[in-house]
Amino acid sequence: MDRDTTLQHVRPRLGGERVFAVVFDLDGVLVDSFAVMQEAFAVAYAEVVGDGEAPFDEYRKHLGRYFPDIMRIMGLPLEMEEPFVRESYRRAGQVQLFDGVRELLADLSALGVRMAVATGKSGPRARSLLDGLGVLPHFDHVIGSDEVPRAKPAPDIVQRALELLGTPPQRAVMVGDATTDLIAARGAGVTAVAATWGESDVDALLAEDPDAVVESPGEVLALVSR
C-alpha cells in the first residue's frame, strides 16, 4: 500500500456496514504536541540524568507507548516521568489541535458517531488537555494507558473503549499515527486507520499494512460516512 491508496482500498473488515464509533489516538492525530513533548523530555532528562543531549530521536521512535514503558525500553530512569509530566502540564497551553480536527469532531457528532480517545498519556492528563482545547464534550470516553492492564500495542485500551461505547469491533475504526496504534486496533478486531498528517513515520506505518490511510482529518469523515 502506498500513500495514494487511501479511501479506495479499505479492507473488507469494515465492509459496507455503518461505522458507529471512532477511537482516536491523541498525540499526532488530534493534537500537535510534538514540540512540547520534545521540550518536556529535554528538561526531564537534564534533571534526572544530567549533562548530555537528551536522546529524543530515539524516544520518538516509541511514540504511542506509555511513558514508563518507553523509559524501560530505552533503559532510562523511571524518575523522568515526574518532571516530564510536570513540564507537559506547564506547557499545555502551547498544544494546538491540528487543522481540521475541530470540524471533524463536530461533523462526526452531527452524524451520531460515538467517539473515544485511547492514548499513551495518562487519563487525567489527556482529559485535562482536551478540556483546555474545548473539545472534551465531543468524546464519550477518554482512556489513558494508566487505566488499562496493558498499554498499546496490547489491544486492552481499544477493547476497553469499545466496551464503554457499546460498539462491536466490526462497527468501529481506530485512527492512529503510530505502529502501536495499528497493532492495538488489529488485536481488538477494529479497522486500523493510519493518520499521516502529524510527525508520524509514514514508511513504518505503511509497513504495518493498515486497513486505510488518511492524510487529513477530512478524509476520516469521508471514510466513516462513505
Cα–Cα distance between 96 and 100 in angstroms, integer?
11
Could you please state the CATH topology (level 3) that the domain comprising 7-32+95-225 is classified under.
Rossmann fold (3.40.50)
Is residue 72's pLDDT more than 50?
Answer: yes
pLDDT band, very low/low/confident/very high, at 18 (cuts 50, 70, 90): confident
Cα–Cα distance between 185 and 172 in angstroms, integer?
10
Q: How many CB atoms lie within 10 A of CB 219?
A: 21
Q: What is the pLDDT averaged over residues 202-215?
A: 93
pLDDT above 90 coverage of the chain, percent? 87
Residue given cell 474545548 in the structure block: 134
pLDDT value at position 7?
A: 42
pLDDT band, very low/low/confident/very high, at 15 (cuts 50, 70, 90): low
Q: Quick one: which of 22, 133, 125, 140 has its CA closest to 66?
A: 125
pLDDT value at position 64?
A: 87
175 SS3 class: strand
